[in-house]
């Protein structure tokens, strides 16, 4: 069963029981693109704006209180999710998001009409005249996007902080495990496994700070600017009043602005925030990749750490276990980086008084936030928390490496160390073995020089030990042979 609705384009059939109307039905027919619908948080933010607008217009005596209260009640029901199934439109649609705005206007108008004793499609409460009063798609959708991002930010930051804490916990657990550092894919000076994990935690902490800092600009709202930011059709106090009403509900410390025109044209705030998401993704990719490399093996690779086993790694190789969780993290990271590029290009498309690309900006930022939040949780629970260190393997590779040689420079000099390294490599011996062979440094003193405390932080060389070594007969004979 259908009902007939009329709009400026003529008559159109709408399902009889649908809470949406003619505009939504036309958009549904026009934009059958992906089948992807708007994020729930976007819909909640949109309905919240409609509620706040009704409250503001009632307070300013622009809207009949009976109609306004019906709008508020209907908007509350939308916020509760009672009409989610009637938000039917594709995220790819007409510019600026007019279909999104009208879909919400029509649902609220029809439900408010019902609450006042009318029938669906009768529009005692009108989608444009009442629900959309003092608004335009051009200020509603960007404001919706800002608020939806702020809705999702709390959970994203919470998961990022949990990951940071998990990494710091591992850093403490591994702080005494000395291992080979690596640069250019080659052995480098020693580092502790704990220092590596601490550096990862610091990176995530910086990402959290960046997201919070860049989210501040999102709190400046353009609602009340209507079509081009001039505020046409609004009460002079509408902007400050609706922002006040939105703050009462969201507690986000949302702000008014003196130049609504600039906010209608310029979407750089979305670019900044998206870039913070991208930088988090970059760090996650780097960390996940590094963990995969350090886990490489189990017998023919580095294998300094052991990632938790989460699933079989091969359909053909029995017993093979892959770094499945880090691989998934990397995939998500690439996805977020790609979405950031979309946001950048869409924000660039601000033409004269309006940027019409807000729907694609909203979808991609919100999608990035959702998948990052889930990924952070997965990464922590199924990978980071269960990582174990193979201390014996770390020690084995360190002793086989020439990485410790740099720490010896202050004690026996660059030339002498170079000869020791060359001999160690030639004869497949450790640096320690060659030094003890020539009795250049007593083993107790050598162990001190090569301790984690000495090799992994700024440390002034022991001048007494240098004097002792360089005045020994063994050292003098060795130097003479160079």
Burial 140-173 (b: 16+ CB within 10 A, else e): bbbbbbbbbbbbbbebbbebbebbbebbbebbee
Q: Among 56-60, 228-232, 465-469, where is mean pLDDT lowest?
A: 465-469
Question: Which pLDDT score, from 0 to 100, does residue 401 have?
Answer: 83
**Residue 430: pLDDT above 90?**
no
Please give the mean pLDDT across all residues of the chain: 95
pLDDT over 90 at 454, yes or no: no
Q: What is the pLDDT of residue 449?
A: 86
How confident is the model over 263-271, as a mean pLDDT?
Answer: 97
Tell me whether domains 147-229+248-390 and 402-480 share a fold: no
Level-2 CATH architecture, domain 147-229+248-390? Up-down Bundle (1.20)
Comparing C-alpha atoms, which of 17, 31, 23 is closest to residue 5?
A: 23
| CATH 3.40.190.10 matches 402-480 | no
User: How is the chain split into domains, by residue range?
Assistant: 2-133, 147-229+248-390, 402-480
Top pLDDT among 234 and 438 is at 234
Q: For the chain, what percent of residues have pLDDT higher than 70?
A: 100
Partners of 123 in the β-ladder: none
Range name among 138-142, 240-244, 443-447 with the lowest pLDDT average: 443-447
CA distances from 260 to 138, 341, 482 (A): 11, 26, 76
What is the rounded CA–CA span in Å between residue 256 and residue 385?
43
Tokens 């704006």, located at residue = 49
pTM above 0.85, yes or no: yes
Catalytic residue among 292, 314, 315, 472: 314
- Mutual orientation of helices 22-30 and 98-115 as an angle, nearest 10°? 150
Q: What is the DSSP letter of 90?
A: B
- pLDDT at site 482: 81
Reported as a pLDDT band with limits 50, 70 and 90, residue 36 is very high
Please provide residue 10's backbone torsions phi and psi, each rounded to the nearest 5 degrees: 120, -155
**Res 452 pLDDT > 80:** no
Tokens, residue 321: 């276990």
Taking residues 369-390, report their average pLDDT: 98
Residues 6+ apart with CB under 8 A from 273: 149, 211, 214, 215, 217, 218, 365
How far the first Cα of the chain sits from its last, in Å, is 99
**Cis peptide upstream of residue 212 (ω within 30 degrees of 0):** no
**Nearest-angstrom CA–CA distance, 467 and 412:** 10
104: its two tokens: 């919400």
Find the mean pLDDT for residues 342-350: 97
* pLDDT of residue 259 exceeding 90: yes
Pick the CATH number of 2-133 from 1.10.240.10, 3.30.70.980, 1.10.275.10, 1.10.12.10: 1.10.275.10
> Phi/psi class of residue 81: alpha, beta or left (left: φ > 0; alpha: ψ in -120 to 50)?
left
Portion of the chain with pLDDT greater than 90, in percent: 81
The rounded distance, in Å, linking the Cα atoms of 357 and 361 is 6
Question: How many Cβ atoms are within 10 Å of 400's Cβ, its own excluded?
Answer: 15
**What integer pLDDT is reported at residue 364 of this predicted model?**
98
pLDDT tens column, 153-205: 999 999 999 999 999 999 999 999 999 999 999 999 899 999 999 999 999 99
Pick the more confident residue, 313 or 362.
Answer: 362
| Whether residue 453 has pLDDT greater than 80 | no
- Which pLDDT does position 245 carry in this prediction? 98
Q: pLDDT tier at 86 (50, 70, 90 boundaries)?
A: very high
Tens of pLDDT, residue by residue over 310-341, are: 999 888 888 899 999 999 999 999 999 999 99
418 is a catalytic site residue:
no
């Amino acid at each position: 069963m259908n009902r007939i609705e009329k709009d400026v384009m003529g008559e159109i059939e709408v399902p009889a029981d649908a809470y949406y109307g003619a505009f939504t039905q036309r958009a549904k027919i026009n934009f059958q693109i992906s089948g992807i619908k708007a994020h729930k948080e976007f819909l909640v933010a949109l309905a919240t704006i409609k509620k706040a607008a009704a409250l503001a217009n009632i307070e300013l005596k622009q809207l009949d209180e009976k109609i306004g209260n019906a709008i508020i009640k209907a908007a509350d029901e939308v916020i509760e999710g009672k009409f989610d199934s009637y938000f039917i439109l594709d995220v790819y649609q007409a510019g600026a998001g007019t279909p999104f705005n009208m879909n919400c206007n029509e649902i609220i108008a029809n439900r408010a009409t019902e609450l006042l004793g009318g029938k669906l499609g009768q529009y005692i409460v009108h989608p444009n005249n009442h629900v959309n009063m003092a608004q335009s798609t051009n200020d509603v959708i960007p404001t919706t996007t800002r608020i939806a991002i702020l809705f999702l930010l709390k959970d994203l930051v919470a998961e990022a902080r949990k990951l940071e804490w998990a990494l710091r916990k591992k850093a403490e657990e591994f702080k005494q495990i000395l291992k080979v550092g690596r640069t250019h894919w080659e052995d480098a000076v020693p580092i502790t496994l704990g220092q590596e994990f601490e550096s990862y935690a610091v990176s995530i902490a910086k990402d959290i700070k960046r997201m919070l800092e860049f989210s501040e600009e999102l709190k400046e709202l353009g609602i009340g600017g209507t079509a081009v930011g001039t505020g046409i059709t609004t009460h002079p106090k509408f902007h400050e009043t609706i922002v006040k009403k939105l703050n009462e509900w969201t507690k986000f410390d949302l702000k008014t602005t003196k130049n609504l025109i600039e906010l209608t044209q310029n979407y750089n705030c979305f670019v900044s925030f998206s870039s913070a998401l991208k930088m988090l993704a970059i760090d996650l990719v780097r960390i996940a990749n590094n963990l995969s490399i350090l886990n490489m093996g189990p017998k023919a690779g580095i294998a300094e750490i052991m990632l938790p086993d989460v699933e079989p790694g091969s359909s053909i190789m029995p017993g093979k276990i892959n770094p499945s969780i880090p691989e998934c993290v990397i995939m998500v990271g690439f996805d977020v980086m790609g979405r950031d590029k979309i946001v950048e290009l869409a924000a660039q498309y601000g033409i004269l008084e309006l940027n019409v690309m807000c729907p694609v900006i909203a979808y991609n930022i919100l999608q990035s936030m959702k998948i990052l939040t889930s990924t952070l949780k997965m990464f922590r629970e199924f990978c980071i928390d269960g990582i174990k260190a193979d201390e014996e393997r770390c020690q084995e590779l360190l002793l086989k490496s020439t990485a410790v040689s740099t720490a010896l420079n202050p004690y026996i000099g660059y030339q002498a160390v170079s000869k020791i390294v060359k001999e160690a490599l030639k004869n497949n011996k450790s640096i320690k073995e060659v030094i003890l062979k020539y009795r250049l440094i007593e083993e107790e003193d050598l162990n001190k020089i090569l301790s984690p405390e000495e090799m992994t932080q700024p440390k002034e060389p022991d001048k007494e030990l240098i004097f002792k070594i360089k005045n020994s007969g063994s050292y003098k004979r060795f130097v003479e042979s160079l």
